[in-house]
A and B are shown apart, each in its own frame.
Chain A
Amino acid sequence: MRNLAEIRERPGTILVLGNYKPGIQTTLDFDFLSGKDTPSIVGIVSASAKFQKYFWGKNEVLIPCYPTMADAAKALGSVDWMFNINSGRRAKQSTVEFFEAFPEAYGGHIFAEDVPEQHAIELYERYQLSGKTLVGTAGVGFLVPGFLKLGVVGGVDWRQVQHNYLTQAGSVAVLSASGGMINEIITLVAQSGHAMSFALCFGGDRWPLTTPKDAFLAAEADPNTTHIVYYGELGGYDEYELAELMKNGDITKPVTCYISGVIGENFDQPVQFGHAKALAGNQSETASAKRLALEEAGATVAKSMVEFKSLVNKLPSSDMKEDGMSLDNRSASLFTSTISSEKEDGYYFVGESLPKWAHDGDIAMQITAALLGRKPRSELTSSFVKTVFLLSVDHGPQVSGALNTIVTARAGKGLVDSLAAGLLTIGSRFGGAVSDAANEWFKGVSEEKNPAEHVEAYAKVKKYIGGIGHKKYRVGLPDPRTEVLASFVKQLPNHPHYDYAKRIEAITTAKKGSLILNVDGTIAALMLDILETEEQYTKQQLEELITADFFNALFVIPRIVGFTAHYLDQKRLDEGLFRLPDSNVLLSEND
C-alpha cells in the first residue's frame, strides 16, 4: 500500500471511470473545503457528454469526459488514481484498461459490488502485488483528511465532509470492512473530538484488494497515526492475521475494535449476512472467536457499540477548527458558454477583453477565434479565413440569396427582414457546397477511399460530388479564385485533403472538362488541412465540425456583408415594389 506520508506530500489526480454524480461531487467539495486550488478529479471516462458540470465551491466547473481510456490518456498524459464506478461485470476489464493507459498510476478504488472472486484475485495478483494501491472491491473507498478523497467514504453531502472534519488531518486511523459502518465510526470519532489520519474501507467482499493486514501495516508506518480503530465482521480469517501482527510486534500502536456478528451464533445453520464474506462457515470464523483472538493479542475489544463509543471517547483528542464555510443554496446553471462574458472589468470575447481586440485591430483574427472557440495557434489560419472571406463576399445579384434580399428590400422591409430573407435560402442547393465538399474530402481521407471508386459511386447514381464542377471555368480556363487559394498549399507541411480533392478532380476532368475542383471544394479541402496540421484538430473533432455545419459559416459570414450591401444598394436606388413581368412566368393549369 502506498505510503501515507507520500500521499500527503503528493495527493495526485483522479480519473473517474463511469458516471456517478454524487460520488464525483463529494470529492470536489472535499478538495474545495480542504483549500485546494483545483479539483483532484481531472477527467471522466464516459461517452455521455463532452463535459460534466460540477460545483467548485459555489461556482461551477466543467470536468472533461472522454469516450475511451485511450482518449483520456491522450488528453491527460498521466493521472495518479482511478475511481472506478463501473459495474461488477466491468470492474476487472476497466481496471486493466486503466493501468494499460496509465501504467505509472498509484492505484484506485473499485466501488462495484458483485465482482467475481476470480476477478478480484486476478486484480490482486496483477496490481496489488506489484505495488499498486487498489481499494475495494465494493466498500466506499479511501480517505486521507485534507489530501485525498477517493470514493464516497465519509459521505457525499458537503455537510458530512465538514461536520466530520474530513478536511483536517488528525491521528486516528479508521479501518472497516463495512462501508456503512466506516461512516458511522467516522461520525463517532468526529463527535468525540478527534480528527483522522486516514480512513480505509476494505469492502465486504471475500478477497479485498487492500487487506486489513496491508492497512494495519500502513497505519503502523504512518508517522501521523497514533491509534487504530477497527470494525470487522464474522466470516474469514483476517483477524487472526491481525492478531499475529500484534503478537509479533509488527503492530505496536493501540488498537480499538468491534467485531460484529455474534447474532450469527444464535442459529444452527450458518446465516449469510449482507456482505459476501459475512458468513461463519466454522467456529473460528465466528465473531466471538475473532474477538477473543484480538483480545489475547492486546487489542481493546468492545462488547457492544455503547462500549465502543466510550472507548473511542477516551482516545486522546485532537485540536480541531470549526469550519464555518457554507456551500448551501447552490444552484446549477441552465447552460454553459465559453465564448464571451461580462466581468467586473468589462466584456470579454474568446479569452480577450474587447478593448484589447480593438487595440489589436485584426477582424480576421477575431472572427477566426470566434469560429474555433479559441485563438488560432497559427497565423496561417486567420490569414486563410481572411482570404476566404475576401473571395466569398458576393457573387452577383442573380443568386437566390441576393435576389431574395433585393426583393424584400424593394417590398419596403427593413435591414433585418431583408437580410434574413436572403440568409434563409442558404442550404443544400445554395451555398451549402463547402459543407458538402468538406464531408466528401474528410470521408475520402479518413476512410482511405479509392478516388476512382468514390467518383464511380456518384456516377452510378448520377449525382454531383460537392465541390466539383463549374458552369464557366474548366480545364484550360482556371478559376482565378481557386488559384489565389492554392497559394496556401505551399505553406502547409502536408495537405492530405487537398491532395485527395485533386485526385478526384483528375478523374472527373478526364470525363468532362468542366468538372474541376471549384472554389467551394478548394476552401473545404484547405480548411480541413489547416485545422488538422496548424490547429491540431483530431479526426473526431473534424467530424464534429462537419456535423455542426462549421464549413457553412465560411460562406454565411462573408455573404452577410454581400446581402447587406445589396439591401443598402436597393434602398439607395429605391425602384419600388418588384413584380415579375408576366412573360417570365409560365402559367399552366392542372387538369
Chain B
Amino acid sequence: MARVKLSEYRAKTLLVGDDYQGTSLSLEGLSKDVAKLATDTAYIIKVDQGIKKRGKQGLVRLNVSAKNAQDTIKELAEKGFHRFIAEPMFTHDDSEERYVSFERTRDGIKVLYSEHGGVSVEENPDSVQEYSLEDVPLPKHFLQQVHDVMNTQHMSFVEINPLVVRNEACTLLDAAVLVDSAGEYVSSWTGEDIVEARTPTDTEAAIAVLNDNSPAAFTFRILNPDGALWLLLSGGGASITIADEAMNQGKAHLIGNYGEYSGGPSTEETYLYTKEVLKQLFESNAPKKAVVIAGGVANFTDVKKTFKGVIQALSEVSGRLEEQGVKVFVRRGGPNEKEGLAMMESFLKEHNLFGSVHGSDIVLTDVVTEGLEYIDA
C-alpha cells in the first residue's frame, strides 16, 4: 500500500466534481486536446507531473489564450515534460489565498490550515495549525466533500495550496493528492492518473509491468547508469540493509541500481527480472563491474527455484560478462538454500564469473564489501 501521486487534473476532477473547469493536455494528443479549450478564455497552463514549486522552476504560464496554448505547451515540453493542465484564469488577491492539507492517520484525518496560502505559507510556517475536521474554519460542505472523496477514492493525503474561499464557494487553485495504490481496485482513478516527477527508464518500466502482473513483488530503480556495482537483491528490508553497506563505506556512488524481488516469485519471473538488471549493467560505462546477488534468510521464497531463473538469465550473456571481467558475489539463505547455492557456485565457476558464494553463515552485508573490494582492486 504505497502512496503514489495523482495528477492535478484527476485530483481536482475527483475533489471538485462536475463543476471543475480544467482540461488535461498530453503531448501525444496535443492538437486534439487544445481544441477543447474555449477561444474567449484566458488560461493558466501548468506542467502536471507531480512536481513541487512549479512557479519557481518556470513550469507555469499565465494568461494563455487557446490560440497560443499549443506553442506554450511545446515550449514547456522542451524541458522534458509530457503532461499538462489548463484552467481558466481565476483573478484574485494574494491575501485571499489559504493553505489546507488533509492526511489520513490512525487517529483520523489530520488537518493543517493556515490563513497564509500560496508561497507565503513558507514564510509563515508558524501560522500552520493542526485542526480536527470539525473545527477547521472552512465551509462545512467543502470539508464533507473532501472527507467523502478521500474515503471513496482511497486518498491518503490532500494538499490544497492555495485555496480561495468566497461566499462559501471554494476554489482549488492547486491540489496535490497522494492516493493509496492498494485502493486502486475500488477507486475511479487508474494507473494512468499516477504521475512521477521523473520519467521511468525502459528497464524500470519493464519491471513495473512484471510487478503488476505477479503476486510476487519486484522493484527496480536506476541510481547511477554508469554504476559499477549491480544489485540483484531479495527482500524489502534486506535490500535496503545491503544497499546501506555501500553508503557506510562511502561508496554509494558506485551502486548502479536499487531493487528487490520478494514474495516467492517463480523461476520465469526471476529470469525476466535478472535479464533486465543485466541489460542495465551492460549499458554502464564503468571500467570494472560486479554483480551482487544477495538477500537475507528467506522465510518462504525458494532459493533453488529463484536461482534457477537467475542462472538462466546469466547463462544467456555469460560470454559477454566474462569478456568484461564481471564477477558475481552471492549471499543467500532460506528454503532449499544448500541446493540453490551449490547450483549457483558450479555455474559461476564453470563460466569464470565466480566472485564468491555464501550461505547464511556470513553477515548479510559482507558480500557488498567483497564486491566493492573487487571493483577497487
Which residues in A have some Cβ–Cβ distance to B below 8 Å?
A: 22-23, 88-89, 113-118, 120-121, 124, 137, 140, 152-157, 160, 176-181, 183-184, 186-187, 191, 204-207, 231, 233-234, 258, 260-267, 269, 271-276, 278-279, 287, 303-306, 309
On chain B, the residues within 8 Å of A309 by CB distance are 363
Inter-chain contact count A-B, CB under 8 Å? 183
Q: Which of B219, B244, B366 contacts A261 (CB 8 A)?
A: B244
Measured in the bound complex, the distance between the Cα atoms of B223 and A264 in whole Å is 11
CA separation between A176 and B299, bound complex, in Å? Answer: 14
Q: Beyond A116-B180, A306-B365, is A187–B297 a contact (Cβ under 8 Å)?
A: yes
Question: Smallest CB–CB gap between B228 and chain A, Å?
Answer: 15
Which candidate, B26-34, B76-84, B246-254, is the interface stretch facing chain A? B246-254
Collect the chain B residues with CB atoms within 8 Å of residue A113's CB: 1, 217, 263
Interface segment among B112-120, B125-133, B231-239, B285-293: the answer is B231-239
Cβ–Cβ < 8 Å partners of B1 in chain A: 88, 113-117, 120, 137, 205-206, 276
Do B245 and A114 have beta carbons less than 8 Å apart? no
Report whether A269 and B198 are in contact in the complex, using a CB–CB cutoff of 8 Å.
Answer: yes
Q: Which among A89, A179, A266 is the interface contact of B247 at CB below 8 angstroms? A: A266
Chain B residue at smallest Cβ distance from A308: B363
B310 close to chain A: CB less than 8 A: no
Other A-B pairs, 19, CB within 8 Å; known A154-B299, A263-B252? A121-B104, A155-B297, A155-B300, A160-B335, A178-B236, A180-B234, A180-B262, A183-B296, A183-B334, A204-B236, A231-B237, A263-B244, A263-B258, A267-B223, A271-B221, A274-B219, A279-B2, A279-B3, A304-B248
Contact check, B104 vs A179: say whether CB atoms are below 8 A apart.
Answer: no
Contacts of A279 in B (CB 8 A): 2-3
Q: Contact between A207 and B240 (Cβ–Cβ < 8 Å)?
A: no
Contact with A along B134-164 (1 / 0, CB 8 A): 0000000000000000010010100000000
Inter-chain contacts of B247 with A (CB < 8 A): 262-263, 265-266
Q: Are A89 and B185 in contact (CB under 8 A)?
A: yes
- Which of A23, A113, A180, A267 has the most B CB atoms < 10 Å from its CB? A180
Q: How far is the CA of A55 from the CA of B62 in the complex (A)?
A: 71
| Known pairs A113-B217, A207-B106, A274-B217; A180 contacts B244 (CB<8 A) | no
B335 adjacent to A263 (CB under 8 Å): no
Residues of A within 8 A of B252 (CB): 263, 266
Chain A residue at minimum C-beta to C-beta distance from B263: A113
Contacts of B186 in A (CB 8 A): 116
Of residues 201 to 236 in B, which have CB atoms within 8 Å of A's CB atoms? 217, 219, 221, 223, 234-236
Whether A152 contacts B300 by the Cβ 8 Å rule is yes
B124 sits at the interface (CB 8 A): no
Whether B328 is near chain A, meaning CB under 8 Å from some CB there, is: no
Residue of B156, B221, B237, B296 ringed by the most chain A CB atoms within 10 A: B237
In the assembled complex, which residues on chain B have CB atoms less than 8 Å from the CB atom of A117?
A: 1, 104, 154, 156, 180, 182-183
Which residues of chain A are within 8 angstroms of B219 by Cβ–Cβ distance? 272-274
B contact residues around A183 at 8 Å (CB): 296-299, 334
Partner among B2, B183, B255, B300 whose Cβ is within 8 Å of the Cβ of A272: B2
CB-based contact B240/A273 at 8 Å? yes
Q: List 9 A-B contacts (CB under 8 A).
A: A117-B183, A156-B300, A180-B235, A180-B237, A181-B296, A184-B360, A206-B3, A274-B217, A306-B363
Q: Given the interface contacts A263-B252, A304-B365, does A180 sit within 8 Å of B299 by beta carbon?
A: yes
For the complex formed, measure the closest distance between the CB of B30 and the CB atoms of chain A, giving whole angstroms: 27
Query: A140-B299, A261-B244 are contacts. A116–B239 as well, Cβ < 8 Å?
Result: no
Chain B residues in the interface with A (C-beta under 8 A): 1-3, 104, 106, 151, 154, 156, 180-183, 185-186, 197-198, 217, 219, 221, 223, 234-241, 243-248, 252, 255, 258, 260, 262-263, 295-300, 333-336, 360-361, 363-366
Most chain B beta-carbon neighbours within 10 Å: one of A114, A115, A183, A263: A263
CB distance from B259 to the nearest CB of A (A): 8
Known: A114-B182, A117-B156, A180-B296. A278 touches B240 (CB 8 A): yes
Q: A160-B335, A184-B364 are in contact. Are A258 and B299 (CB under 8 A)?
A: no
Query: What are the residues of chain A within 8 A of B365 when measuring CB–CB?
Result: 304-306
* Interchain residue pairs A-B with the least CB separation, the first 4: A178-B237, A180-B235, A274-B236, A184-B296
- Whether A156 contacts B335 in the complex (CB less than 8 A), given A207-B106, A305-B365, comes out as yes
A274 touches B297 (CB 8 A): no
B300 touches A22 (CB 8 A): yes
B260, chain A: closest CB distance, angstroms: 5
Contact pick for A263, options B181, B243, B295, CB 8 Å: B243
Beta-carbon contact of B180 and A118 below 8 Å:
yes
Nearest-neighbour CB distance to chain B for A251, whole angstroms, equals: 21
A265-B247 Cα distance, complex, nearest whole Å: 9
List, in ascending order, chain A residues with CB within 8 A of B299's CB: 140, 152-156, 179-180, 183
CA gap between A176 and B241 in the complex, in Å? 13
The CA-CA distance from A154 to B238 in the complex, in Å, is 15
Please report the C-alpha to C-alpha distance between residue A261 and residue B186 in the assembled complex, in whole angstroms: 32
- Residues of A contacting B360 with CB < 8 Å? 184, 187, 191
How many Å lie between the Cα of A153 and that of B252 in the bound state? 31
CB of B154 within 8 A of CB of A187, answer no
Contact in complex: B239, A118 (CB < 8 Å): no
Select the residue from B234, B241, B243 with max chain A CB neighbours within 10 A. Answer: B241
A258:B182 contact, CB within 8 angstroms? no
- For B264, the closest partner residue in chain A by CB is A22
A177 and B236 alpha carbons, distance in the complex (Å): 10
> Which of B154, B236, B363 is A180 in contact with, Cβ under 8 Å?
B236
A276 to B1, CA, bound (A): 5
Report chain A residues within 8 Å CB of B180. 116-118
Residue among B243, B246, B296 with the highest chain A CB neighbour number at 10 A:
B296
Least CB distance from B83 to A in Å reads: 18
Tell me, in angstroms, the Cα distance from A287 to B240 when the chains sit together. Answer: 11
Given contacts A180-B296, A183-B298, contact A118 B151 (CB under 8 A): yes
Residues on A with C-beta less than 8 A from B221 are: 271
Question: Which of A176, A177, A260 is packed against the most chain B CB atoms within 10 Å?
Answer: A260
The distance in angstroms between the C-alpha atoms of A346 and B180, with both chains bound, is 64
Contact A118 B235 (CB under 8 A): no
B334 contacts across to A, CB distance below 8 A: 155, 157, 160, 183
- Residues from chain A with a CB closer than 8 A to the CB of B198 are 269
Cα distance A181–B258 when bound, in Å? 17
Question: Judging by beta carbons under 8 Å apart, are B300 and A262 in contact?
Answer: no
CB of A127, distance to nearest CB on chain B (Å): 13
CB closest chain-A residue, reference B223? A267
- Cross-chain contact B182 with A178 (CB below 8 angstroms): no
